[in-house]
Structure 1
Amino acid sequence: MVGEMLPLGTYIHLAATMSRPNALIYSLVRQFHNQNPQFTVSVAGIHSSAHSMTMAGIIKKAIIGFAGDNYPRPQPNALYSNILKGEPFEVELWSLLTLIQRLQAGAMRLPGFMTNSLLGSDMITDKLGKSVFVYPAPDSTEADPKKLAMVSPLNPDYTLIHAVIGDEDGNLVLTNPSGEGVWGAMAAVKGVIASCERIVPRGSIPAELISIPGTRVIALTEARFGAHPQSLRIMSLPHLEIFKDLSTYLDDYEFQIDANQAAAGEEKQKKRWMEEWVFTPKTHEDYLRYVGSQRLRKLSKFPDPLPLLPDQDPESVNDSEQMIILAARAIIEHVKRRGYTTLLAGIGAAHIACWTAARLLAKENIRVHVMTELGFYSMTPSMGDVFLFSQLHANGSQGLSDITQILGMLVPDKCLGVMGAAEIDWFGNVNSIATSKGKFIVGSGGANDIASTADCIIVAKAIRQRFVRKVNFITSNGDRVKEAVCQFGRFRRDKMEHLFEFTNWIAPPSDPEMEVEEAVLKFTNWFPPDEVPPKEEPKPTSEELTILRSLDPDRIYIEQFMVYRSLPGD
């Protein structure tokens, strides 16, 4: 179907709902892999199965917010090391929210969309006067100049999307949390090409469930498990016949890890993976047979949440665990002092720190709502599943929405952002895009959007090439970054023009005899404390460690050397 509908050279958008259109992506790759790269592709993030498009060489230009691996940890993938130099494709980098705002403008046929994001970031530099225009804010004065940015609309020719169900008229049902939601589909000029778990008779979908009207859909095909290896959540409406025998399925983590490793590997490893999962299966039905019915059934079964572990021995803590516990303490302190009502959890050690802090605050009857950028609100994580965007967490969330509501509406309102960083400098600027040698890291994701409108804490294991005096690229402006937490303490800054000061100290468990000045000079390019000695942090407690280890029983984020895969080229 995809090959028949899409001419070479067209502009395709891949809808970044929680359920990516992977069956359609594979079909696209099979059809065009032996031709010169011709397609412009926009997508919020390229990872796991979407690497197949890059390995097949079908992308001429990519408009993205992220490229790399997001499981088991967010990290660079060697496949994209040189995209800042135009290899293997030309790239246009955006933050997650501004990419969606451009689609919103395109969907509503507006000349642009006003945003709080991008200002103060190096991402804006090559876009000024082209796709980004800067204007004085309405409340700007000579004494207090303020600016707003307007981003230009995005109108793909076609959008590929995977829905829960569709009917014979093409009406589609999506389900929350929905990531980008309907915007990519509604912005498409020539229409939507969709797959879904089931095609149902005309008129059988209740009007209130229709997300995308059939007038936008020019082609629809049935593809069970069409989002695999990503997940899909079925609406909890068992009384409706249209949902009968359909069930939620979860992320196939093993498959995603294999795809990420193949993309980062040698050429023969790439070819082997592509042959096995993309080219040998000629149809989606063939692909599902290769995946195996037993594996698919397993993905449709919800595991029981793990119980809280027995009390853990605080003497066995490692550097990464100590860092996360210090970050949780910092979050708790800021919530109590400044009255934040929500936490925006960035993926990585940051979200484990948010989960830990929320549980500790709950013990004091203080409620803070943990949110994620793809649409989870007031999340209570399912114990044992450490992936931030797991559908298991939907069952423990008070609200489920989308990127626009979370990043655009809730983050600017009494929210504390908690994020990681590939680089952070002593003014709080964060880099997750370019190394000192011009190699690509991962992109902004939602980080720029969070730091643009919310006070922030950065959680990052200190190494000298990460805690730098000046970042190589400003992905997120540091004006609202209040604190940086690492494995041996906390650095704070009270005002935007101030440098970080080292205020809280505890010896790293890997070297308990280390002194304050030695730690700062060994692990950072920042200044050690000058006159006022830092406050001594108490050792992690059994309670803190028990909560942390119960949240991450497989020790994905709390291993001793929890760092980004080596930065490309460094």
Structure 2
Amino acid sequence: MFNDEEGFIPMTSKEATLHDAIAEFVVDGDVVALEGFTHLIPFAAGHEIIRQHKRELTLVRMTPDIIADQLVGAGCVSKLIFAFMGNSSVGSLYAVRRAIEAGSGSPIEIEEYSHYGLLARYQAGASGIPFMPIRSYAGSALADINPNIKKIPSPFDDESEIYVVPPLNPDVAIIHAQRADRSGNIQSWGILGPQQEVAFAARKTIAIVEEIVDDDVIRSDPNRTIVPGFVVDAVVESKYGAHPSFAQGYYDRDNDFYRSWSAISRDPEALKQWIQEWIHDTEEHAGYLEKLGKGYFEPLTPLPHMSTPVNYGSVR
């Protein structure tokens, strides 16, 4: 926003605490998308949802991993909309498996897509269109078990048919990124995944970032902005908020944690104790970091590897 005499007019700050953002925007029964692909997984936000005892949520996640296991194990989730699911290459998600296979604890409903199928739903939701065509379901059995995957005739070719998926507009999207300004302009780099699409598709968007920076930092590299502030409802600074996943350039993936999770998740009592000790008893993300201990992230801190500067030019 510009003012001819004074230059930029500062936009309204959307900065919030993690507690307040979850309390205001996540309501029992909501469809909540927690997105971040390989890195930038919003673990701190998921933990806060557990602390606040949110219930009957439909969790949407392109790659449900440990955070999905924790949310299901804590009794927050009644339905899961997903693509690939698992503890990366390490093992299974035993809380999710128990809920699906045996119906023990908190039984959950599942709705499965391919990676691009779920992304296409976000794209349709963001675009405000009634469906998105997708060719890759040809030969797949997913359409046989998911009634939301349909085949329709082409409006332009009487002999062709194409699979389509409906739009998805989550009540709340929660994403994690490297940095933002106080107005909620979100910048990220590395693997982006569906961050942009889900932010535009959702009715409300919470962005968790490693750091909130001055406006000048964001304006100095505008093409790095993947989500503009006008679609963000709250921006939260939460350092190491993606742990045990990673944030490109800030900290590496905690592989020891991922390897340890199977033993915790496999035992319902051990999982219950872990949730109590590491989520409820820590009271907030700062307490979680304090419990990890000083120096915990030192071996996870990557060496600097700077990108080549870009010359955007200027007005003479």
TM-score normalized with structure 2 length: 0.81
Sort the Cα spacing of 1:127 and 1:83 in 2 relative to 1 into closer, same or farther, 3 A.
same
- Partner of 1:164 in structure 2? 178
Runs of 5+ consecutive residues of structure 1 not aligned to the other structure? 235-247, 304-391, 396-570
CA contact (8 A) 2:57 2:77 kept: yes
CA contact (8 A) 1:84 1:90 kept: no
Q: What do the CA deviations read for 1:143-194 (whole angstroms, capped 9, x no partner)? A: xxx53101100000110011110101111012121122311111102x2111
Give 2:278's aligned amino acid.
Answer: W
1:32 paired with 2:53, answer: yes
Where does residue 478 of structure 1 map in the other structure? Answer: none
Matching residue of 1:448: none
**Residue 61 of structure 2 is aligned to residue 43 of structure 1:** yes
Matched, 1:183 2:202: no
Shift of 1:91: 0.8
Match of 1:200 in 2: 213
- Answer with 1 or 2: which has the greater Rg: 1
Q: Is the 8 A contact 1:57 1:88 kept in 2?
A: no
- Counterpart residue identity of residue 4, structure 1: E
For residue 260 of structure 2, the aligned residue among 251, 258, 261 is: 258
Give 3-state SS (helix, strand or coil) of 1:175's partner. coil
Structural RMSD (CA): 2.5
**For 1:178, what is the secondary structure of its paired residue?**
coil
Amino acid at match of 2:47: Y
Alpha-carbon separation, structure 2, partners of 1:80 and 1:178: 28
Tell me, what secondary structure is at the counterpart of 1:14?
strand
Partner of 2:17: none
| Residue 31 of structure 1: how far off its partner (Å) | 0.3
Partner of 2:143: 124
Contact 1:79 1:263 in 2 (8 A): no
Q: Distance in 2 between matches of 1:210 and 1:88?
A: 39
**Residue in structure 1 matched with residue 251 of structure 2 by the alignment:** 249
Contact 2:143 2:149 in 1 (8 A): yes
Check the 8 A contact 2:60/2:80 in 1, yes or no: yes
Partner residue, 1:276: 277
**Partner deviation per Cα, 1:317-338 (whole Å, 9 max, x = no partner):** xxxxxxxxxxxxxxxxxxxxxx
Shift of 1:195: 1.1
Asked if structure 2 preserves the Cα contact closer than 8 Å seen for 1:164 and 1:232, the reply is: yes
CA contact 1:195–1:220 (8 Å) conserved in 2: yes
Distance 1:64 1:23, change over 3 A: same
AA matched with 2:134: T
The answer to whether the 8 Å contact 1:171/1:210 transfers is yes
Is the contact made by 1:102 and 1:112 (CA closer than 8 Å) also made in structure 2? yes
Which residue is 2:314 aligned to? none
**Residue of structure 2 equivalent to 1:88:** 107
Superposed CA deviations along residues 486-510 of structure 1, whole A, max 9, x for unmatched, are xxxxxxxxxxxxxxxxxxxxxxxxx
* Equivalent of 1:227 in 211, 233, 242: 242
Whole-Å separation in 1 of the counterparts to 2:199 and 2:212: 18
Distance 2:179 2:152 in 1: 43
**Which of 159, 167, 170 is 1:153 aligned to?**
167
Q: How far off its partner does 1:66 sit?
A: 2.8
9, 16, 36: which is aligned to 1:16? Answer: 36
Distance 2:47 2:232 in 1: 20
User: Deviation per CA, 1:176-223, whole angstroms, max 9, x where unpaired?
Assistant: 21122311111102x211111111123430222211011111111111
String of CA shifts for 1:367-410, please: whole Å, max 9, x gaps: xxxxxxxxxxxxxxxxxxxxxxxxx9xx9xxxxxxxxxxxxxxx
1:50/1:214 CA distance change after superposition, 3 Å = same
One-letter identity of the residue aligned with 1:175: W
Counterpart-to-counterpart distance in 2, 1:159 and 1:209: 20
Summarize the Cα distance change of 1:54–1:112 in structure 2 as closer, same or farther, 3 Å threshold.
same
SS of the counterpart of 2:210? strand
Call closer, same or farther: CA 1:175–1:119 in 2, change over 3 Å.
Answer: same
In the TM superposition, what is the alpha-carbon distance from 1:135 to its structure 2 partner? 2.3
Conserved 8 A contact 2:173-2:198: yes
Counterpart for residue 3 of structure 2: none
Distance 2:279 2:260 in 1: 13
Deviation at 1:45, TM superposition (A): 1.9
- Deviation string for 1:340-369 (max 9, x for gaps)? xxxxxxxxxxxxxxxxxxxxxxxxxxxxxx
Contact kept in structure 1, 2:182 and 2:213, CA below 8 Å: yes
Q: TM-score, normalised by structure 1?
A: 0.46
Secondary structure of 2:217's partner?
coil
The answer for the alignment partner of 2:10 in structure 1 is none
Could you tell me how far 1:257 is from its partner in structure 2? 2.3
With 53-62 and 84-93 compared, the bigger mean Cα shift is at 84-93
Q: Deviations over 1:85-135 (max 9, x none)?
A: 76621111111110011001101111111101223333212434xx22212
- Give the aligned partner of residue 152 of structure 2: 135
Greater RCO, CA 8 A, separation 6+: 2
Over 3 Å counting, the alpha-carbon distance change for 1:218 and 1:176 in structure 2 is same
Residue 108 in structure 1 maps to residue 127 in structure 2: yes
**Residues 36, 176 of structure 2: 8 Å contact kept:** no
Shift of 1:70: 1.3
